[in-house]
Amino acid sequence: DEEEDGTPSTKRRKIAETEGYYTMEHVHISNTTTDSSDQPKTSTTFLEGVTFGDLLEEDMPIQIWTGSNLATAPEMKLIGQHHLWLDALVAAVRPQRSPTSHADRLLVDVAYLQSAQDEEETLETSVPLRKVRIVLGAPDEKIPATLEEARIMAMGGEEQATPTTNTTASGPPAEVDE
């Protein structure tokens, strides 16, 4: 299928409010205390590449999974695996020629430093979406600030009601005669 301008048409799927992201809480322990109960907690929300891959564009900061290719999605989310996610930049995004699933629809070329001592970037090509995540609210104009903004952008720029959520019509409240 192609649009009138000759570009391939993309069918945007609906994204449920609870789909495609996860949040990790971090406790910052100061050097003056060993009790973490009174230390400030922060959280970071990650958008999964499989769900939010359509947001990816060249020069966007992301994170790439550098651990085992056999790791499952739940294993990749473990806090103990956090060190296997490295900061990276999208070098290119391209459609897969014959995707077998929604997760295989795009391939990403990613540039990153394998260690802080590296001076040369590693360019990994044809990275599957399952190995990519976006840090929600990262300081870059290409990255959405909120989950709602990310969902709307990924669905093509407009809110679409999903069968699993309760949505209310916008506009003034209905008047009821008593």
Residue 29 forms part of a structural domain: yes
pTM, 2 dp: 0.74
150 occurs within a structural domain: yes
Q: Which residues contact 173 (CB under 8 A, 6 or more apart)?
A: none
**pLDDT number for residue 165:** 42
Please report whether residue 46 resides in a domain: yes
pLDDT over 60 (residue 2): no
Rounded Cα distance between 45 and 147, Å, is 9
Residue 151 has pLDDT above 90, yes or no: yes
Residue 143 counted as domain residue: yes
Does residue 125 register a pLDDT over 60? Answer: yes
Position with higher pLDDT, 41 vs 69:
69
The residues near 48 (Cβ < 8 Å, ≥ 6 apart) are 20, 21, 22, 73, 130, 133
Give the residue from 175, 159, 155 showing the smallest Cα distance to 167.
Answer: 159
Task: Tell me which residue range forms the domain holding 49.
Answer: 21-154
Which has the closest alpha carbon to 91: 118, 124, 117, 63? 124
Q: Do 116 and 128 form a contact (C-beta atoms < 8 A)?
A: no
Residue 147 falls within a domain, yes or no? yes
35 lies in a domain?
yes
Confidence at residue 140, expressed as pLDDT on a 0 to 100 scale: 94
Q: Is residue 71 part of a domain?
A: yes
**Backbone φ, ψ for residue 150 (5° rounding):** -65, -45
Structurally, the chain folds into a number of domains equal to: 1
Q: Which of 5, 1, 12 is nearest to 102 (CA)?
A: 12
In the numeric block, the tokens 């769900």 are attached to: 51
68 within a domain of the structure (yes/no): yes
Mean local confidence (pLDDT), 35-49: 80
